[in-house]
Amino acid sequence: AEPILRVGELVKHYGAGRGNVVHAVDGVSLSIGPGEVLGLVGESGSGKSTVGKCILRLTEPTSGTVSLVGRDITHLSRRALRPLRRDVHIVFQDPYSSLNPRFTIGQIVAEPLRRHRIARGGEAARQVTAMLERVGLGAETLSRFPHELSGGQRQRVSLARALILEPKLVVADEPVSALDVSVQASVLNLITDLQRDMGFSCLFITHDLSVVEFLADRIAVMYLGRIVETGPTAEIFAAPRHPYTQALLSAAPVPDPVKQRRRRRVVLSGEVPSPLDPPPGCRFHTRCPVAVDRCRTEVPELRDLRLGDHPVACHLVTTDHVPDATATATAG
């Protein structure tokens, strides 16, 4: 089937004054099939949110292409984009600042119906009530204002607004990370249920790999503007190939105390380098526990290596060898 989203060699550089250039995204390619969930994972500054914004044209890519359902939208005018906005919605991290405080929940969720002239009056009210119910909110919510709701309820409202037009693609940018830990799981479960029910494709952006373990079909790991590894979720979790992914996974909490004891934690040295001046060669070489000389000069391409649908950008990964960054760590 034709992908719902295809991103080709996306680059986003922007000026930061005095001739400085931020290399936010540097050649990212990905695609998402119908009903598929891709988890885009990386630390802050990795460029993952910029990818999401370029897909929605909330920011203009420097180069590269974005296609929705086979249509290249990279150079479409705002006006030509408008009907396509029916098909793609974003859910932001902060459910408070993304909801207009002066509107009622009923008005907020009805807004896409009005804007796209799909329904109004009683018919709009009926659809809004039904959608609120699907996200677990009662009809009494209709007349409330955002500040009267909890963070979890507000994020449910954001979901209702994003889904009311039954979009083909939802871009979810850290939708649970601003919420209390106690409500994160319930909102994640809701997103999972809605995705399975409604069948939309989803780009789920997160800094936390464990968040997408049960939601994403595939994972793409970003580091300093590039995808370093991508593959089926189960494979990434069972056998991460890139030293950075191995480090991320080693840091994730393991619910099983026995496993926790056996797990070797890789503590990466230093901070993520500035995207103003990314390191040459492999961008991860300044922190990679298994880096070799060529890593400092040669850029590793994202290569498939006939290892299935699981390409990796690391000089040390070959058809019969995968480096083990955790071997350098101490147990504990």
Q: Residue 27 is encoded by which pair of tokens? A: 């050649």
**Cα–Cα distance for residue pair 268/244, rounded to 1 Å:** 9
Cβ proximity to ligand SF4: between 218 and 242 the closer is 242
Which residues make Cβ contacts (< 8 Å) with residue 98, sequence separation at least 6?
92, 158
- In whole angstroms, the minimum distance from the beta carbon of 240 to ligand SF4 comes to 11
The window from 15-23, 60-68, 85-93, 282-290 that contacts ligand SF4 (CB under 6 A) reads 282-290
Q: Which stretch binds ligand SF4 (CB under 6 A): 41-49, 62-70, 233-241, 283-291?
A: 283-291
Q: Please, what is the minimum distance in Å from the beta carbon of residue 10 to ligand SF4?
A: 21
Tokens representing 228? 């370093």
Site residues (CB under 6 A) for ligand SF4, limited to 218-257: 242-243
**Is residue 92 near ligand SF4 by the rule CB under 6 A?**
no
Nearest residue to 127 (alpha-carbon basis) of 149, 142, 148, 147 = 142
**Sole binder of ligand SF4 in the list 146, 225, 278, 300 (CB under 6 A):** 300
CB 68 within 8 A of CB 74: no
Nearer to ligand SF4, 47 or 106 (CB): 47
Nearer of residues 47 and 243 to ligand SF4, judged by Cβ: 243
- Could you tell me the smallest distance in angstroms from the CB atom of residue 314 to ligand SF4? 3
- Least Cβ distance, residue 222 to ligand SF4 (angstroms): 13
Report d(CA 306, CA 311) in Å as an integer.
9
Please identify, using beta-carbon distances, which residue of 114 and 294 lies nearer to ligand SF4.
294
Using the rule CB under 6 A, give the single segment among 7-15, 101-109, 258-266, 290-298 that binds ligand SF4.
290-298
Find the binder of ligand SF4 among 205, 248, 295, 302 (CB under 6 A): 295
Site for ligand SF4 in 304-323 (CB under 6 A): 314-316, 323
Phi, psi of 291 (to 5 degrees): -60, 145
Task: Please check whether residue 42 is in contact with residue 207, taking contact to mean a CB–CB distance below 8 angstroms.
Answer: yes
Kindly determine how many residues on this chain lie close enough to bind ligand SF4 according to the rule CB under 6 A.
14
Residue 88, helix vs strand vs coil: strand
Q: Nearer to ligand SF4 by C-beta: 204 or 223?
A: 223
Contact, 60 vs 39, CB < 8 A?
no
Complex with ligand SF4: residue 42 or 106, whichever CB lies closer: 42
Per the CB < 8 A criterion, the answer to whether 190 and 137 are in contact is: no
**Both structure tokens of 49:** 């949110």
Half-sphere exposure of 123 (CA within 13 A, CB side): 6
CB of 327: closest distance to ligand SF4 in angstroms?
Answer: 13
Shortest reach from residue 248's CB to ligand SF4, in Å: 12
Report CA Rg, the chain.
21
Q: How far apart are alpha carbons 156 and 178 in whole angstroms? A: 13
CB nearer to ligand SF4: pick between 80 and 267: 267
Give how far Cα 230 sits from Cα of 30, 149, 299, 303, Å: 9, 38, 17, 10
Kindly state whether residue 53 participates in binding ligand SF4, applying the rule CB under 6 A.
no
Question: Which of 204, 284, 311, 326 forms a contact with ligand SF4 (CB under 6 A)?
Answer: 284
- Residue 149 or 282 with smaller CB distance to ligand SF4: 282
In order of 40, 99, 246, the CA distances from 140 in angstroms are 36, 18, 47
Contact positions vs ligand SF4 (CB under 6 A): 242-243, 282, 284-285, 288, 290-291, 295, 300, 314-316, 323
